[in-house]
């Protein structure tokens, strides 16, 4: 950990450290899920834009 971290643990704070790490992993999973959803949305929007462009071009 860097000195900028808000949570500083002593070697004996095993429970606090485990909770801290669990919270960090949970947050990482939430961020990954949000990124996945945003990526899927962006891909779908791009597909729709391409379809519209081809439909208007064909007309």
Assess if residue 56 is contained within a domain: yes
Could you tell me if residue 25 is inside a domain?
A: yes
* 12-50 pLDDT, tens digit each: 788 888 999 999 999 999 999 999 999 999 999 999 999
| Domain count within the chain | 1
Q: Which domain holds residue 48?
A: 17-59
6 located within any domain = no
Other beta carbons within 10 angstroms of residue 13's beta carbon come to 13
Radius of gyration of the chain from Cα atoms? Answer: 22
pTM of the model: 0.64
Contact between 1 and 8 under an 8 Å Cβ cutoff? The reply is yes
5 pLDDT more than 80: no
Is 37 within the bounds of a domain?
A: yes
- Structural domain includes residue 2: no
Query: Per the domain annotation, does 41 fall within a domain?
Result: yes
Residue 8 falls inside a structural domain: no
């Amino acid at each position: 950990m860097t000195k900028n971290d808000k949570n500083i643990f002593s070697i004996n704070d095993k429970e606090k450290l485990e909770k801290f790490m669990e919270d960090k992993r949970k947050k990482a999973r939430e961020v990954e899920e949000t990124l996945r959803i945003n990526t899927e949305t962006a891909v779908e929007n791009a597909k729709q834009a391409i379809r519209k462009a081809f439909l208007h071009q064909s007309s």
